[in-house]
Structure 1
Amino acid sequence: MMKTLSFTRAGLGLSGLRLSGLRLGAAALPLCLALPALAADPAGLPGGQPGGQPGGQIEEVVVTARQRAEDPQRVPVSLSVIGAQRLERAQIDGITGLAAHAPGLAVSDPFGRFNPAPAMRGLTQPGTGDEPSVGFFLDGVYVTGRSSINLFLNDLERVEVLKGPQNALFGRNSFGGAVNLITRKPGEAVEGYLEGTLGSKDLREVQAGVSGPLVPGKLAARVSLSVKDYGGFYDNAAGTDPEIGSEKSSAGAVTLRATPTDRLEALLRVSYAEDRDGQPKGYYLATNCQPRLAGGLPTGAFSQYCGEIPQSSGPFAANAQATGFTRDAWRTALTVHYELDAVTLTGISAANWETNEFNRDDDYSAALIARAGQQTVRKDFSQEIRLTSADRGQALTWLAGASWYRFDNETERRNQLYYLGQTTPGGARTAAVTESWAAYGSASLRLPLDLTATADLRWQRDDKSFASSALNAQGRPIVLDDDWTMLTPRLSLAWQALDSVMAYASVAKGAKSGGFNEMASIFDDERSFDPERNWTYELGSKTSWLDGRLTANATLFWVEWKNQQVVAASAAGSVNNFYTNNAGRSRSKGLELDLQARPLDGLTLGAGYTLTDARFVDYADPDYRDIPAFAPDGRIDGKVLPRQSRHQLAASAEYQAPLPGGASGLDGFVGGEWLWQSRQYTENSNLSWIGDIHTVNLWTGIDTGRLRLTLRVKNLLDDRTPPVAVRFSQPTPAGYQRAWLATPGDGRTWSVSARASF
């Protein structure tokens, strides 16, 4: 295996780099190939070399970005890898934390861990619908549903963030990219750890894991357990439960690894997770501009919020009827690898069950005005089988596979309008079923001049049905079904110019399945929407220098996004009237840099940076046709796509060395990171935005190899910029009115952790 770096997001300052815009013409394309020249002269860098282990050892890393084990520096895909050490040092235990450390990935979560909206390279997630634009996979198994992907992350070996469409090999709506969560596996050595954390805002957390052989050489097991209780950054001003922004999670897993022969390996993992969260943080802002027009004249009712979303530190309140978000989930997966003489047969069987309930105080106050609720029961089953050829240096390598997937999703709306005298919650009940079949393959051919051509292709058919107790215009319950067939190719050409320098070009098609809208107040012809598609073009380079102490990777991308799924407001009503339709065409282009360095033993530096210019090309928003800035047709061509930043940067540094005069084997360490994202527009009009977010985290401690004590300070500068704001409807005693719902930013927190390993 080739020595390379663990892409653990060690950081490097980019003080010498000024990027305020991007033009992807012919003159810009050589940037990806020019980066090796910069990397060859580390003195020209403002700091940086890739992370490794203390004492001069360089960590070996293998990724499965293309469904086979590979050196990440030889994979013609833009990817970031966050290793176990970075996950632990930065206390990353959810997907919003992952996004901050993997520029290009953005996660909006205005309602806490319920229904987050992940996006990659500006390909934003519509505010409705249950399928995300980025596919999440846990040990190769698709994580179904938006309210499931924000799971409590624990006992992970690494996280792979693949940028750009991954439909060809992964499918399952990996339209903008894919995130692979890889858990730790049991081995032959007896090992384990126990870690406890105490911190501000009533933070208490315990994690433990132990693994070892049950039958040496034949059967090994791993058991892990994590419990977290975070009291929430803000108190409930009503003086009662629920707490504002609190999160409680418990998770446990058992993994068995059987190796009855040298050719056969079977992994069985069963896990259970329980979440109990309080009322999500939030506050309303009244609209302040763009009055609605009637007959060309203003009506006096503002429709928009204009300007930067202001910070707020409360007070925040919720009544006792808002119980927050609860979730119980079982996940079971069996993965079998059987090695034949020239191929490996892989089978992945999975079954997952989840129930969750969300009860939000819809007016975000102590008053009894309105409550929004939803109960969900979901289960999914999948079977995948794959043949992968052995790579022994021959000209042709290949893989071929097929998969089946079924998703059953039942929901019941439990909204309650107290101001209308409603004494019990009510709402539509829906049952949706998705069944998907796919066949896929990949072939790589080594050519003269150190070129490798790869072709991937996936055929996928999705059948969906939808039944709702809501009544249509004819007074009958709504029953819908549809099916879609998608072909998603990917072609790439890689040139291994040197053993440590690779350049590549690729083109890939991404597709995200269509679906149905469940909101009550929409017209019948607004009930369904079709798949959306994109073509993504990439030019990139991956380079490694100084015996792996320095890596410098760069990618230019261009995305043409058609039949875009966007959120519109139906004229059928003013409440529960948001729906997804296909009405937009957009373009996203940008630059991704990944720099890592290790100039001294024990010192790791690095940075990840993304510049994304994502804009509407052709879209008339029906909600803007009667406001002055966009009347009479509502066209927003050229506007920036909402909820994504033009600039994202994750930079960090860490130094570990023996303490002066300390006992043998006693090391001290100190590290920090700067996470920055530029402004994000809150919605399509670009009239309001959240400001730049600067987060500085620091940690320090001592390490004996078996015992480690860590002191952390998160958000050292106490940046309270709201992380997200969305267009919404605010319930009032007089009825619903247009408003903006903002999420307050958490302030500074600290924690102390003690970890024992054996």
Structure 2
Amino acid sequence: MARHHIVRTSALLSSICTAALLASAPGTASAQSAESARSAPASGDIIVTARRTEERLQDVPLSIAAISSEDMAEKGVTDLQDIANYTPGLRFTDFLSKFNGNAVIRGLSQTNVQNAVGNTGVFIDGIYLQRGYMVDSQLGDVQRIEVVKGPQSALYGQNTFSGAINYVLNEPTDELHASGRASVGNGGYTDVRAAVGGPIVPGILSGRIYYATADFDGVWKNNFPGAGSSGMADFGGYQRRNFSASLKLTPTDGMAITGTYYRLTRNEKIRAFYTIDGNLREDQLNCGAVGSNGSPYLWCGNLPSSPAGKRSGENTDHYPDGLFAAPQPGMRAKTEMYHVAAEYAFSPDWTFNYDFGRVRGEGIEQSSFASNSYYLDESSFRLPGQSPTFSMQREAGLMKYTSHDARLAFDNGGPFTFDFGYFRSKTSDAFLFGLRLGMQPGGPVLSDNWDPLDDGGVILFNNRRTNYKIDSGYGRVGLKLLDDQLTLGAEARYTHTALTTIDMQTPDLPALEADYNNLTPRFSVRYEPSVDLMFYASAAKGVKAGGFNGYVTGSVELLPEERAYGEEVNWTYEVGTKGSLLNNRFNYSLAAFYIDWQKRQISAPPANYVPPVDSTQGGGAVPGAYISGGSAESYGVELTANYRVATPLTLNGSFAWQHATAKDGAVAPTASSTCDDIVCRTDGNVAGNYLGNVPQFQGTFGFDYRTPVNDDLDFFMGADEIYRGKMYVDETNTASTAAYFLTNARVGVSADRWKGFFWVKNLLDEKYAEASFVVPSIFQYNVNLGDRRTFGVTLTFDY
């Protein structure tokens, strides 16, 4: 590993040095903002809309990262996990089947990834995407992606507990415009995108249409016998189709009405993974309490980067080489959005905005954790005398969401600005989760049932229909002082949430109902002594609504006090500075934050639940019960900067340190059966431990080199070294995923209207554990492996 890192670092430094030697060549390069890329206007400023108005990134008193569509294309960015690699303080995990996509900002990782409301809100043009199976877009017809850190409750609502991610789509224009992109790469990768737009009735009506299709087989081979004939020769592949169409009507000066239809469909194979099962004699856990089969129930230390590292040495004759898993259906999802945005500047000082959104999303995963263990054939074994069977997981949802948002804004160019608005939304969310037990090894896991409301014959642990009704009023004021150098800001939103849940496992019992009322303020101060320097400080409150566990979970009846859990709250405090130095050649953004997180929604075993000794005996999943209890804190520093060394060469880097730990009241729910008071406490107390799936350190370092070849053609090249630090799997802080480095690179040529380039991700083919989750009631770790080397060639045009 050490030698590998030296080779990697040397290769990158050699590339940078080579580029630096070429820096004296004639050419031009535009200045870049510290938190974005080359899509800036001619002035060099980056314009963002994170606060529902157009602002220079430099002027926003928030930590914001913005990445342009041009940068995403050059770096081979295809999903939110790639975005997270380039965004300090952001972590995205989609676990085994990509059903429960989970974005984590500044360490606020949620325990319940099946919750209908996440800690990080994801939006398309400000319209909320509520479920995890909806959030990981194909990154289609986007102009840019904005990642806003810290609670944004005043402007976006309670769904931005830790921050917001907003996909900003391209709009129709009055100029005829066509663009496209075609990519091919290893692993059967193809990606074709095309858009055309322009005037329909010049000056009055314009339109735009976009379509994209992407296919990928995957780069991890599945060595399960006959996997190719069952359609799963590789892990991690997908089929994604994205279509959008929009019309923009400008009937009079100051008025614009834009209507957008957006659709994304996804068929996703399961990711490359393996399991470590404490019930297996052929697997070898290494710490914690010892089970009836003589094996410990926990893993301590870094999880292996391949399944070879978890074997006990027994039953070796029945292991193929490498990874293997029974072929299985994976995940399918579809998201449709209708959005109408109207803006009317009815005077020089007043503007009225109205947004209507309707979203329908459905997703279903059918998968098994059966990988690299006893599931291959009948010669494999668990405890003595037991037959080897396994379970298939079925997790599905159907979500319908409608929202109305009306806002009135005043800005006369003077010291005082304000806006206020009213928001209403209704959500209908159906969700089910269960297992089919007793499946026989040796063959594929097959199912053609893709109805998200059908249980598919599984044993259900959760099956609920939940309705949300949200009404909120919000406002914002700003006051400029000291010749506009000092700006004081205050925002607030008052929200009423009515929540109703029907437990479909007990449909004859009354619906569970609750109402929540909360006020979420935000205060900020910004000091801008010059156009190139800004300091700011802010304090913001985030609130996430509570929810229901239902009347039962699986076969366990819940006590009345266990049927619901309350809201969770955080206060986030941030100070920072943004600036440009050396005649705008050096740009930076630096922020420090502290988060006080109270009433966390954490997992807890129901009073009537008795953990099974073995998962084949009436178990197979942790009951889905949650409580509002315990606290946590997170603090850290984020830095993003770039430096234009010479006209052709720019160096860039980012760094994030986040210290996210549990505090009083936090517990590990099954510690009494897995811990031994040596590696972790049997009473479950995890106060002081790091939160799960949160890296303490993240960073990138890279360069970008551009120079003319002749009057019509430019040459460019670049590379990025991406670092993600060690992460603990859960709050027991026993098992962890090791730190890793990835090297990405690109090289190509561009002209006025087209560009062609080669890109590669994970250049040195690093094998690493990307994430893991543990099912403690059955003593099983599931380890996701990151993609191996992927590369391709892309051609773009823009006319």
TM-score (ref. length: structure 2): 0.83
Decide which of 231, 248, 253 is 1:257's aligned counterpart: 248
Equivalents in 1 of 2:468, 2:12: separation in Å? 46
Decide which of 640, 643, 663 is 1:617's aligned counterpart: 663
Could you say which residue in structure 2 is the equivalent of 1:432? 466
**What pairs up with 1:414-425 in 2 under 5 angstroms?**
415-419=435-439, 424-425=457-458
What is the Cα deviation at residue 682 of structure 1? 0.5
Q: Are the equivalent residues in 2 in contact too, given 1:285–1:741 (CA < 8 A)?
A: yes
What is the Cα deviation at residue 354 of structure 1? 1.9
The answer to whether 1:451 aligns with 2:451 is: no
Secondary structure of residue in 2 paired with 1:415 = strand
Could you say which residue in structure 2 is the equivalent of 1:275? 266
| Closer/same/farther in 2, CA of residues 479 and 299 from structure 1, 3 Å limit | farther
**What pairs up with 1:333-732 in 2 under 5 angstroms?**
333-341=339-347, 342-364=349-371, 365=375, 369-392=390-413, 394-413=414-433, 415-419=435-439, 424-427=457-460, 429-448=463-482, 450-471=485-506, 477=509, 479-517=511-549, 519-522=553-556, 523-524=558-559, 525-570=561-606, 572-574=609-611, 575-618=621-664, 619-625=666-672, 627-629=675-677, 630-659=680-709, 662=710, 664-728=711-775
Equivalents in 1 of 2:682, 2:332: separation in Å? 44
Secondary structure of residue in 1 paired with 2:84 = helix
What is the Cα deviation at residue 653 of structure 1? 1.7
Equivalents in 2 of 1:429, 1:53: separation in Å? 47
Equivalents in 2 of 1:348, 1:265: separation in Å? 12
Could you say which residue in structure 2 is the equivalent of 1:106? 91
- Count the aligned residue pairs: 698
Q: Are the equivalent residues in 1 in contact too, given 2:475–2:493 (CA < 8 A)?
A: yes
Q: Are the equivalent residues in 1 in contact too, given 2:97–2:367 (CA < 8 A)?
A: no
What is the Cα deviation at residue 567 of structure 1? 2.6
Could you say which residue in structure 1 is the equivalent of 2:450? none
The answer to whether 1:286 aligns with 2:277 is: yes
**What pairs up with 1:26-425 in 2 under 5 angstroms?**
58-127=43-112, 128-236=114-222, 237-240=224-227, 241-243=230-232, 244-287=235-278, 288-292=285-289, 302-312=296-306, 315-320=322-327, 322-341=328-347, 342-364=349-371, 365=375, 369-392=390-413, 394-413=414-433, 415-419=435-439, 424-425=457-458
Q: Are the equivalent residues in 2 in contact too, given 1:375–1:414 (CA < 8 A)?
A: no
| Closer/same/farther in 2, CA of residues 540 and 705 from structure 1, 3 Å limit | same
Higher RCO (CA-CA < 8 Å; seq separation 6+): 1
The answer to whether 1:744 aligns with 2:785 is: yes
Deviation by residue 1:470-520 (Cα, 9 ceiling, x = unmatched): 249xxx657322121111111111111222211111111111111123642
Equivalents in 1 of 2:97, 2:650: separation in Å? 33
Q: Are the equivalent residues in 2 in contact too, given 1:54–1:601 (CA < 8 A)?
A: no
Moved more, 362-371 or 500-509: 362-371
Equivalents in 1 of 2:764, 2:749: separation in Å? 24
| Closer/same/farther in 2, CA of residues 391 and 78 from structure 1, 3 Å limit | farther
Q: Are the equivalent residues in 1 in contact too, given 2:76–2:761 (CA < 8 A)?
A: no
Which one-letter code corresponds to 2:334 in the other structure?
Answer: D
What is the Cα deviation at residue 74 of structure 1? 1.0
| Closer/same/farther in 2, CA of residues 351 and 57 from structure 1, 3 Å limit | closer
Moved more, 378-387 or 304-313: 304-313
Percent sequence identity is 24
Deviation by residue 1:697-743 (Cα, 9 ceiling, x = unmatched): 011011122222111111012121111011126xxxxxx83111000
Q: Are the equivalent residues in 1 in contact too, given 2:392–2:439 (CA < 8 A)?
A: no
Equivalents in 1 of 2:294, 2:434: separation in Å? 33
TM-score (ref. length: structure 1): 0.87
Moved more, 433-442 or 405-414: 405-414
| Closer/same/farther in 2, CA of residues 334 and 536 from structure 1, 3 Å limit | same
What is the Cα deviation at residue 573 of structure 1? 4.5
Which one-letter code corresponds to 1:415 in the other structure?
Answer: L
Deviation by residue 1:117-146 (Cα, 9 ceiling, x = unmatched): 211111112233121100111101111112
Which one-letter code corresponds to 2:540 in the other structure?
Answer: A
| Closer/same/farther in 2, CA of residues 504 and 60 from structure 1, 3 Å limit | closer
Equivalents in 1 of 2:37, 2:130: separation in Å? 34
Equivalents in 1 of 2:667, 2:74: separation in Å? 46
Q: Are the equivalent residues in 2 in contact too, given 1:396–1:443 (CA < 8 A)?
A: yes
What is the Cα deviation at residue 290 of structure 1? 4.4
Deviation by residue 1:1-57 (Cα, 9 ceiling, x = unmatched): xxxxxxxxxxxx999xxxxxxxxxxxxxxxxxxxxxxxxxxxxxxx99857759995
Aligned-residue Cα RMSD (Å) equals: 2.7
Equivalents in 2 of 1:319, 1:82: separation in Å? 38
Secondary structure of residue in 1 paired with 2:763 = coil
Equivalents in 2 of 1:279, 1:219: separation in Å? 44
Q: Unaligned 5+ residue runs, structure 1?
A: 1-12, 16-46, 730-735
Q: Are the equivalent residues in 1 in contact too, given 2:38–2:70 (CA < 8 A)?
A: no
Could you say which residue in structure 2 is the equivalent of 1:10? none
Secondary structure of residue in 2 paired with 1:232 = coil
Q: Unaligned 5+ residue runs, structure 2?
A: 1-10, 14-30, 279-284, 308-320, 378-388, 446-455, 612-620
Moved more, 505-514 or 300-309: 300-309
What is the Cα deviation at residue 170 of structure 1? 1.0
What is the Cα deviation at residue 576 of structure 1? 4.0
